[in-house]
Amino acid sequence: MSYFWMLVFSAAGACLGSFLNVVADRLPQGKSIVSPPSHCESCHRRLSASDNIPIISYLRLRGRCRYCGAAIPQRIFWVEIGTAVLFALLFWKYGFSYHLPVMMTYGSILIVLTVTDLEHGILPNRIVYSAIAIAFAVALIAHFLRPGGLPDLKSAAIGGAIAFFFLFIPAIISRGMGWGDVKLAAFIGLATGFPLVLLALFLSIISGGLVAAVLLLLKIKGRKDAIPFGPFLSLGTLVALLWGNDILAWSGFA
Ligand SMILES: [Zn+2]
């Protein structure tokens, strides 16, 4: 039964991933996310329903527009796959619970921000501020309903403050960290709460540092190139949300 639902949630994730692609494409350009309907970015022909099936259409069309042959960005495919896998994992972890819709929302937000940061170097305020408001509302609800496992107001506030100041200080003394990262950190702290926020930050720094070192060693990036930190913050947070309590228990911290 649970495999059936994992499949259902991964299909839902693939469809939502398709929408997240649209959001990540259009929001940084200030375009509407609802109209016009899906079209080829190159020849502007509208996609038929059968060419708009998440994951499957990309594979069947071999990553090219049916009409003009222009390449469809591979990212479209990876976001659809990634959201599908994430939703299956979230269902496997949380089942039908208060957590599931909350974690699906957080995961979707982090995926969109990863794409906009990688492709445009920005974390749009509209998404980050909405995310902060959602995480605050979740903490408020958790405070009164006590569903267990979700950070309550105190835990979220401490987490938000720690993450905010942790990135605020490097942001004022160097140009490596952007204000978008600082605001994203505030969301991450609210969403994970204390002490999970420490793990989320730790994982972000370790993964970001490792990737930056590899990029520098392979000379793909130079010392002066900015390497976006948003994707690593997102990755660290997703891992902390999914397995954080297990990791903390295993490492003897909690
Ligand atoms: Zn086309």
Domain ranges of the chain: 1-95, 97-254
CA 11–ligand 1 middle distance (angstroms): 26
pLDDT digits (tens, 9 = 90+) for 170-202: 888 876 678 899 999 999 999 999 999 999 999
CA 15–ligand 1 middle distance (angstroms): 21
CA 207–ligand 1 middle distance (angstroms): 37
CA 232–ligand 1 middle distance (angstroms): 33
Q: In this predicted structure, what is the pLDDT of residue 222?
A: 81
pLDDT digits (tens, 9 = 90+) for 45-72: 999 998 989 999 999 999 999 999 999 9
Residue 64: phi, psi to the nearest 5?
-130, 150
Q: In this predicted structure, what is the pLDDT of residue 225?
A: 78
CA 47–ligand 1 middle distance (angstroms): 9
Residue 46: phi, psi to the nearest 5?
-70, 140
pLDDT digits (tens, 9 = 90+) for 217-245: 998 888 777 788 999 999 999 999 999 98
pLDDT digits (tens, 9 = 90+) for 241-254: 999 988 988 887 66
Helix axes 196-217, 153-173, angle to 10 degrees: 30
Summary mean pLDDT of the chain: 92
Handedness of CA 237, 239, 245, 251 (dihedral sign): negative
CA 50–ligand 1 middle distance (angstroms): 15
CA 130–ligand 1 middle distance (angstroms): 33
Q: How far from chain centre, in Å, is Cα 176? A: 21
Tokens of 67: 């009409």
**How far is Cα 60 from Cα 180, in angstroms, rounded to an integer?**
37
pTM confidence score:
0.93
* Three-state secondary structure of 11-31: HHHHHHHHHHHHHHHHHHHCC
DSSP 163-230: HHHHHHHHHHH-SSS-HHHHHHHHHHHHHH-TTHHHHHHHHHHHHHHHHHHHHHHTTSS-TTS---SH
Q: Is 72 helix (H, G, I), strand (E, B) or coil?
A: coil
Q: In this predicted structure, what is the pLDDT of residue 58?
A: 94
CA 54–ligand 1 middle distance (angstroms): 17
CA 44–ligand 1 middle distance (angstroms): 6
CA 28–ligand 1 middle distance (angstroms): 22
Q: Is the peptide bond prior to 36 cis by the omega test (within 30 degrees of 0)?
A: yes
